[in-house]
A and B are shown apart, each in its own frame.
Chain A
Amino acid sequence: MTTLDSDVVFAALGDATRRHLLEDLSRRGPLTATELARVHPVSRQAVVKHLVALASAGLLTSDRHGREVRYRVDSDAIGDAARWLAEVGTRWDHRLAALQRHLE
């Protein structure tokens, strides 16, 4: 499974257009840049740029069929980043609760 750098993921998700594209792909995907540009208020070139940013953050995968590239959401990769946050968060919750008791 891909290991995501959570800072890179958050940076990729920090842009509203990219979030809208990701959301659209998760609902209707896989889609091409041309198909996405039809319904989003940005040029095809801009869509491609955003898709590349999302793909390099590990959030999308792409398949080439002839001249066509279709993008899909990599939910395993998103799950991996979220799982790290959940596991590490739980450990700190336990430690901080124990620290609270220790200091009482």
Chain B
Amino acid sequence: MLQREVVFPVPADRLWEALTEPDSLGGWFGADVEWDLTPGGIARFVGSDDGDRHGLVDDVAPGRRLRFRWWPDDDEEAVSEVSYQLDPEDEGTRLTVTERRVTPAPRPPSASASAVRWDGWDDRLTGLWLSARAGAPRPVLVAVAVSA
């Protein structure tokens, strides 16, 4: 799972508008976005560098959170789920973006998966991969030794 957090110096409703209004999205998202912002609504992302995408809106709480699944037109198996969480702060609004791969047919989360803390593992896994690549002839996965 990938996660990013940024605090923007604007109120939540202004951030929500930038995240959801097609006109605002054109100014930063890197694709033209058309979507029906209701659960089950269809989404379309066109003109991005990495290809056009279809999407499906799963959860909408205006000003607070949005969750949708999307996949490239040329690889319908590569489904991932994006969620936005908006939390008011003293100096603005914290946006937490997560994106994770999901299987095309959603399945219930396993007990073992939910018991793990994910924080920070994305960077560690990247470090692990880099050390695996750099360490010829045999990969030495240094990062695996770091305890959670």
**Cβ-based interface call for A65 (8 A):** no
Q: In the complex, which range does the number of interface residues on chain A fall in?
A: 35 or more
Contact across chains for A92 and B4 when beta carbons are under 8 A apart: yes
Q: Is the interface of B mostly helix, strand, loop or mixed?
A: mixed
Q: Which of B2, B6, B115 contacts A85 (CB 8 A)?
A: B2
Q: Is the interface of A mostly helix, strand, loop or mixed?
A: helix
| Alpha-carbon distance A69/B18, docked complex (angstroms) | 55
Q: Which of B28, B50, B97, B101 contacts A7 (CB 8 A)?
A: B101
Q: In the complex, which range does the number of interface residues on chain B fall in?
A: 35 or more
Contact across chains for A26 and B28 when beta carbons are under 8 A apart: no
Contact bitstring B1-43, A, C-beta under 8 A = 1, else 0: 1101010111000110011000010011110000000000000
Q: Which residues of B contact A22 (CB under 8 A)?
A: 141, 144
**Cβ-based interface call for A40 (8 A):** no
